Structure 1
C-alpha cells in the first residue's frame, strides 16, 4: 500500500487544489480530490445511515474512525475480528482514517500523563498508551492513522501545560513512526500559544509523516479567529503534504480554511445539523438576484410549523434521494412523530449537499473564481452559528 499527495494547482494566497492517491493493491486505487472531507463516524458508522445508505451518496471516498468509540472494554472485542477495520465496519471501498479521540464531540476528561492519554467512552474514562495504540493499529490496519496526541481541552491552559502537550505529542509521534506499514499523520498541538504552535509545526515537519492534523476545537469563538490561530501552524508546514483540520465545520470555516491551504475537513457539522432537525440550503454558486443587504439562511429548521403543508423538496434542484422522493412537510411530520426515518432523510440530504459544496469549491479553484465567490458568500450569508431551539435535540439517536 502506498499513499501520495500531488498539488494540481496553487495560488499566491495559499489556495491549493490537490489529489490524495491511495494504492491499496493492483485492483483497488482510491483517489481523493482536495479540498474534501472525511465522513464522520460514530461507533463505526456514519450517524443515521447504514453502509447501503452511505454508498448511495456519491463523492464520499473516505471515512474517519475513532478508537474512543471502541475501547470501553480493553482489548476491544473488534480486535478479535479477522480482516481488519475495513471488513469489520463494511468500509472496504473507502479510505479509512483512524484517530484516538472523537474530533466531532471532543469532551474534557481527566488529565493525561507522559505514559497515557485519557479518553471518554460510553462506560467511563479509559487510558490508552502509545504502545497499545500502535498495537491496535497493527490489528485494525487502517489506511492512515493520526499519532497519539495530548490534546488540551482546557479553555485557559497554562504555558507549562501547553509545552508539555507539545513535548508528549512529539515523543508519541516518534514512537508511531518507528512502526512500519501504515501511513502516519502527525498531530499539531500548541493550543492558543503562537510560539508553541510554531514549535509543534516545525518539529513535526522534520519527521517523515504522510500529512498533518490540526485541531480547531477549544480555540476562539469566530471562524476568522480560529483560522488565524491555525495559521500560526499552517505557515510552517511544507506545501507538499496534506493537512486535515478538525473543528472547522460551518461553511464559513471551510471557506476560510481552504483559503489558508487546509485540504481535508470532517463532516461532524452535518451530524449536528441533522440532529437539530436542520437541512442545508447554502450554496457557493449564488444567484445574481439575491439581495446581499438581507442576510440569507444557510439552513432551514424542519421543526418549524410553517413547513407542515410545504410540499417542496428540502432544496429545489437538489439531486439527493430525500429531495427527489420526499417533501418538507413529510420530514416535518416525521420529526414530530419521532420517527427515525426523519434523521435518515435529513442526513442523506445534508451529507450529499456537504460533499457537493466541496466539489463546487474545487471547481471554483480550478476556474480561478474561488475568492470572488467566497466574498459574495460572506455578503449574502454573513457568519452564522447553529440555531439553538427547544426542539433541537432528537432523543432517539
Structure 2
C-alpha cells in the first residue's frame, strides 16, 4: 500500500509538513499523515510504503532538500509510533510490514534520518523503499539485511537485471502495462531460449500485434508459454480484437505479459540460487536486443484518473473523436445552390405577379 501510483503524477499543490499532494479520481488532494495511518490500520495491507516528501519533475534545490529530509523523517517517526510504538497495546499493533522511504539524495544530506533508521526506528521497519538505483549501493550495513523495494521505473528487462545485480529485491514494472496498452506482447526467457549457442542475430524482446503480419497467424503468442491467453487464443484473434478496439484484447495481453514477467523473476531467483546470475545476465544481454519495440497502434482510450495532469502547449493524449463536418457542409451548400431560391424581397415578387403584399 502506497500513497502514490507508479510512476507518480506530478501534482501542482505542494507537499506540506503534515501532508503530501496526491492525484485521485476526483482531482488533486492533500493526504494527511494521520489519514494515511488510519487507512493502514483499517486496510491492514501486507506492506506499507512510508510517506515521503518527494519533488517530482525537477531537481530540488539545497533548501528544498533539507525540507524533504525533515518531513520524511517526521512522517516515518509519526507513522511507526502510531502503528508499532511502545504505547500501542500488543493486540492492536499493526501486522503490516513498514518499508521506510530512502530519499533520492546523497547519504550525507539525510545522515540524521538514516542514523535514526539504524537505531531508534530499526525495530519498527521491515524494509526500505528507494527511488533511484544509485541508492542501492548506499545502504549501510545495519540496514543491509532489510528487503529493498525499488521505484526506478525500469524501461526494459535489461534494466531489471541491472537493478537486481545492485541489490534490489522488489521492483515495480510500469513498462509491462505500457506494452499491453500498446498492443505489444513480451517474448523473452531468462537466461535465453532453447536455441543453439551461436547467436547471429539478437532476438526481439517483444512483438507488435498491430502488425498486419498477424492477420492470419493462428500460432500462439509464444509456443513455450503456458498462460491462459496462449493456451486458448492465437495472434490473429488478438490482432482482430485490437483492430476492433475491443477491451478483451488488452486484457488478454496483460494476462500474457504478467505470466512472462512471473516466469522471468522465477528464473532470476533460480539463477541466484545456483550462483550463475552474473553469467546468465551476460547470456541474456547477448541473446536479446537492448530496447523494446516502439508502439505503432493506439491503446485503450484514456479517461479521467488514467490521465496525468497536463501542462500548457502539450499535444492531446486522445485523438479527437469528432471533428468539424467540413465535407458535409460543402455537400449541403451544393444541394442548396441547386434549388430555385428568390433573389428579391416581397415587393419584387409582387411586381412579377407572384403574390400580393398585405398592408395592415
Q: TM-score, normalised by structure 2?
A: 0.73
Counterpart of 2:248 (choices 326, 341, 344) is 341
Give the SS at the match of 1:313. coil
CA contact 2:7–2:153 (8 Å) conserved in 1: no
**Does the 8 Å CA contact 1:194/1:232 hold for their aligned counterparts?**
no
Alignment of 1:134-149 (within 5 A): 134-149=37-52
Gapped runs of 5+ residues in structure 2? 85-92, 304-360
In structure 2, relative to structure 1, the CA distance for the partners of 1:351 and 1:195 (3 Å cut) is same
Preserved contact between residue 277 and residue 301 of structure 1 (Cα < 8 Å): yes
Alignment of 1:76-155 (within 5 A): 98-155=1-58
Q: How far apart are the structure 2 equivalents of 1:100 and 1:264?
A: 17
Cα distance in 1 between the residues matched to 2:69 and 2:289: 35
Secondary structure of 2:204's counterpart equals coil
- Tell me by how many angstroms 1:282 deviates: 1.5
Greater relative contact order (Cα 8 A, min sep 6): structure 1 or 2? 1
Does 1:372 find its partner at 2:298?
Answer: no
Question: How far does residue 323 in structure 1 lie from its aligned partner after superposition?
Answer: 0.5
Answer whether contact 2:21 2:31 (CA < 8 A) is retained.
yes
Per-residue deviation at 1:130?
A: 1.1
| Residue 264 (str. 1) matches residue 170 (str. 2) | yes
The answer to which of 133-142 and 236-245 deviates more is: 236-245
Q: 1:244 to 1:189 in 2, by over 3 A?
A: same
In structure 2, C-alpha distance between the alignment counterparts of 1:112 and 1:236, rounded to whole Å: 31
CA deviation after TM superposition for structure 1 residue 142, in Å: 1.6
2:109 to 182, 190, 196: 196
- Distance change (3 Å), C-alpha of 1:237 and 1:196: farther
CA offsets per residue over residues 70-93 of structure 1, 9 Å max, x none? xxxxxxxxxxxxxxxxxxxxxxxx
Structure-to-structure mapping, 1:135-214, within 5 angstroms: 135-179=38-82, 180=84, 181-182=93-94, 183-191=97-105, 193=106, 195-196=108-109, 201-206=114-119, 207-208=121-122, 209-214=125-130
Number of aligned residues: 287
Could you say which residue in structure 1 is the equivalent of 2:236? 329
Matching of residue 274 in structure 1 with residue 180 in structure 2: yes
Aligned to 2:160: 254
CA contact (8 A) 1:165 1:190 kept: no
Partners in 2 of 1:350 and 1:197 — Cα distance? 38
Q: Distance in 2 between matches of 1:382 and 1:203?
A: 44
Q: Aligned-pair distance for 1:123?
A: 1.7
C-alpha spacing 1:113/1:239, structure 2 compared with 1 (3 Å): same
SS at match of 1:178: helix
Relative distance call for 1:198 and 1:358 in structure 2 (3 A) is: farther
Structure 1 Cα separation of the partners of residues 114 and 220 of structure 2: 46
Q: In the alignment, is residue 215 of structure 1 matched against residue 128 of structure 2?
A: no
* Local SS of the residue matching 2:236: helix
How much does 1:254 deviate?
Answer: 1.6
Q: Does the C-alpha gap of structure 1 residues 238 and 138 become closer, same or farther in structure 2, counting only changes over 3 Å?
A: same
Is 1:394 paired with 2:300?
A: yes
RMSD, aligned α-carbons = 2.2
The structure in which a higher percent of residues are helix is 2
**More strand per residue:** 1
Gaps of 5+ in 1: 1-97, 217-226
**Runs ≥4 in structure 1, deviation > 6 angstroms?**
none
Aligned partner of 1:40 in structure 2 is none
SS at match of 2:143: coil
Structure 1 residue 381 and structure 2 residue 295: aligned?
Answer: no
Q: Distance in 1 between matches of 2:289 and 2:214?
A: 24
Query: Per-residue deviation at 1:279?
Result: 0.8
Higher-Rg member (1/2): 2
1:144 CA displacement: 2.3
Q: What does residue 54 of structure 1 align with?
A: none
- CA distance 1:290–1:167, change in 2 (3 Å): farther
- How far the C-alpha of 1:205 sits from its partner, in A, is 3.5
